[in-house]
């Protein structure tokens, strides 16, 4: 862990020695070299470079000394070059040699960050994929194709990348000395809950050197049914079952007899995130807070959980999910605790909003809203149709517009929408990660798509933005969630429960939402897989024999009749 200054604004990291990049043609001799602090500086500069167009810039915007100024200077100089030459600068590394005051390389293995103010989530942010380290040589060698040629430091290396079909990885033969944690025999490796993980079978290979697998193949199977059939045949090792197959695999929330007999294991975990309906509070109609409240009361969240999620979710009574500091399910001004709709109250709120019976008194016609859907799949259609039905019950008509996800996001950035169905998966387990989506200055084209502005909420957000984890901060988080529940820029709908089916031969695989490191501890009982796959896919010759037998009988009957 880093050394942190008393004012919480300086972080000094010591880079682990001996960590090497994988062997790759981007290096002069094809041999991966050691990772140094300079590599991290390069990656941060490239992340902030305007031509990289990194989607995660919001994570560092305003936090690192001089970073915003450095980025702005590059953008202005690139614009000047374009004006003078009429050509876009093609060198994506142009300008990266400019010094950056906020990130300092002290020596080969020491990196220091200077922050503008305390950033309590800084370590969470640095653990995200955005800040993964890679060598400058790879960017120069592969150029625009770098996305298909990752050059990292991990236990596996990509040997085939086909964005339509599959990605193939093989074991990194030069991976450093790393082992599966062994908390029972090494107390310094213990973490909260390790005993439960051991009982669940995650630590069967504790103490063994990684990687344990020869390689990994990730297949992109878009359609639900083929994905399910691949798993049933044993051609994939784990699966989150498609909605239409959940009842077959997990009737009543428990493994089916067939799945149990196959040795399939079921793992459930609450998703760290919230599904919600986003209302554009700057829209001429939806700026009416009582109308937003009426819409919220018309939602039957429990029906949605039971029918559209097949029970694999819980009703979201707060935008902060259970298990995250700030969650409070008791303050429900416009959300029934049992999750069902309250149509009588919704109709009363419509009267208060000036739309009795859902009708616009100016025109005498039903109020009409537009719901933006982010896909044309059956699941997306089901959610859109449900919103239409719920609003119809209080006299409001709804038009559903089908978009691709980029199309919908573009509309939201331009504030050109009324209602949209969205979900937010946490990047790290801190309520600030979702509360930032409702901070006034983050309005569109920023991440506050609801364009919500509340003076108290904004003041509290600015206060907690530099606060370390504490009971006081948790109380503030709760208050902010209550403001959202009262003002209804969002209608919180569900916290999904993820289901993971694992084949009997898969070992040590513990899925996590905020990290992809579970691959490194996974293993396969190859012989067991071969045996079961062969057994499950043994050809059934009986139907063919019956057909052949019937054909023979038909021929013999015909011959006998001819002789007679």
So what's the pLDDT on residue 90?
76
pLDDT of residue 540: 66
Predicted confidence (pLDDT) per residue in 441-484, tens digit: 999 998 999 999 999 999 999 999 999 999 999 999 999 999 99
Report the pLDDT value the prediction gives residue 52, as an integer from 0 to 100: 87
CA–CA dist 369, 376 (Å, integer): 19
Structure tokens at 123: 């370590």
Q: Is 90 exceeded by the pLDDT of residue 510? A: no
What is the distance, to the nearest Å, from the Cα of residue 333 to the centroid of all Cα atoms in its chain? 29
* CA count, 13 A, side-chain hemisphere, 70: 24
Burial 428-445 (b: 16+ CB within 10 A, else e): bebbbbbbbbbbbebbbe
Q: Provide the whole-model pTM.
A: 0.84
Q: Show the domains of the chain with their CATH numbers.
A: 3-143 (3.90.76.10), 273-498 (3.10.105.10)
The rounded distance, in Å, linking the Cα atoms of 441 and 511 is: 35
Pairing of the two strands 103-107 and 10-14: unpaired
Could you give the CA distance from residue 129 to residue 134 in angstroms, rounded to a whole number?
Answer: 11
Q: Out of 172-181, 242-251, 257-266, which region has the weakest mean confidence (pLDDT)?
A: 242-251
Judge whether residue 547 has pLDDT over 80.
no
Nearest in space to 54 (alpha carbons), one of 65, 62, 43, 69: 43
Q: Which of 310, 279, 294, 296 is nearest to 339 (CA)?
A: 296
The predicted pLDDT at position 564 comes to: 60
Least confident piece of the model among 96-110, 267-281, 430-444, 532-546: 532-546
**Token pair for residue 256?**
């089916």
Q: Which residue has the higher pLDDT, 557 or 177?
A: 177
pLDDT tens for 65-97 read 999 999 999 999 988 887 888 777 777 788 899
Residue 548 predicted with pLDDT over 80: no
Complete DSSP assignment for 243-261: HHHHHHHSGGGS--HHHHH
Q: How many C-beta atoms lie closer than 10 Å to residue 317's C-beta?
A: 22
Residue 102 DSSP one-character state: T
Residue 430 φ then ψ, to 5°: -140, 130
State mean pLDDT over 260-281: 92
* Mean pLDDT, rounded, for 420-444: 94
pLDDT at 341: 95
């Amino acid at each position: 862990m880093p050394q942190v200054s008393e004012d919480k604004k300086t972080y000094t990291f010591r880079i682990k020695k001996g960590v090497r990049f994988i062997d790759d043609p981007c290096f002069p001799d094809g041999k991966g070299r050691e990772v140094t602090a300079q590599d991290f500086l390069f990656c941060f500069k490239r992340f902030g470079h305007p031509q990289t167009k990194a989607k995660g810039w919001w994570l560092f915007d305003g936090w690192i000394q001089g970073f915003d100024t450095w980025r702005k200077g590059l953008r202005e100089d690139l614009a000047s070059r374009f004006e003078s030459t009429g050509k876009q600068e093609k060198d994506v590394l142009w300008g990266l040699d400019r010094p950056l005051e906020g990130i300092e390389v002290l020596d080969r293995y020491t990196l220091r960050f200077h922050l503008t103010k305390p950033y309590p989530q800084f370590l969470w942010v640095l653990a995200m994929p955005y800040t993964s380290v890679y060598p400058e040589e790879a960017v120069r060698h592969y150029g625009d194709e770098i996305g298909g040629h990752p050059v990292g430091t991990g236990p596996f290396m990509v040997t085939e990348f086909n964005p339509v079909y599959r990605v193939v990885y093989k074991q990194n033969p030069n991976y450093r000395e790393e082992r599966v944690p062994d908390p029972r025999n090494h107390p310094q490796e213990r973490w909260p809950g390790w005993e439960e993980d051991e009982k669940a079978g995650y630590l069967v290979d504790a103490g063994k050197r990684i990687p344990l697998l020869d390689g990994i193949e990730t297949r992109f199977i878009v359609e639900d049914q083929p994905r399910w059939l691949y798993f049933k045949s044993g051609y994939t090792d784990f699966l989150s079952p498609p909605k239409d197959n959940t009842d077959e695999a997990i009737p009543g929330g428990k493994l089916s007899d067939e799945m149990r007999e196959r040795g399939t294991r079921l793992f459930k975990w609450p998703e760290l995130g919230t599904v919600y309906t986003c209302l554009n509070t700057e829209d001429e109609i939806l700026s009416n807070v009582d109308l937003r409240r009426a819409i919220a009361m018309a939602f039957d969240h429990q029906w949605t959980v039971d029918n559209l999620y097949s029970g694999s979710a819980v009703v979201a009574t707060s935008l902060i999910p259970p298990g995250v500091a700030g969650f409070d399910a008791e303050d429900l001004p416009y959300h029934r605790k049992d999750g069902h709709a309250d149509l009588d109250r919704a109709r009363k709120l419509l009267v208060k909003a000036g739309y009795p019976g859902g009708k616009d008194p100016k025109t005498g016609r039903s109020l009409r809203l537009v719901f933006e859907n982010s896909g044309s799949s059956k699941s997306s259609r089901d959610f859109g149709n449900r919103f239409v039905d719920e609003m119809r019950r209080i006299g409001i008509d709804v038009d559903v517009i089908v978009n691709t996800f980029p199309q919908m996001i573009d509309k939201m950035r331009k504030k050109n929408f009324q209602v949209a169905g969205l979900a937010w998966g946490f990047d790290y387990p801190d309520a600030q990660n979702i509360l930032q989506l409702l901070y006034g200055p983050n309005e569109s084209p920023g991440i506050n798509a609801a364009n919500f502005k509340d003076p108290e909420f904004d003041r509290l957000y600015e206060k907690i933005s530099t606060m370390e984890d504490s009971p006081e901060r948790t109380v503030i988080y709760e208050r902010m969630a209550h403001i959202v529940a009262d003002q209804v820029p969002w209608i919180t709908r569900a916290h999904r429960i993820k289901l993971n089916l694992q084949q009997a031969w898969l070992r040590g695989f513990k899925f996590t939402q905020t990290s992809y490191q579970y691959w490194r501890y996974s293993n396969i009982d190859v012989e067991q897989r071969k045996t079961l796959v062969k057994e499950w896919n043994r050809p059934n010759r009986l139907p063919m024999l019956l057909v052949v037998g019937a054909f023979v009988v038909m021929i013999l009957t015909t011959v006998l009749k001819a002789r007679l």
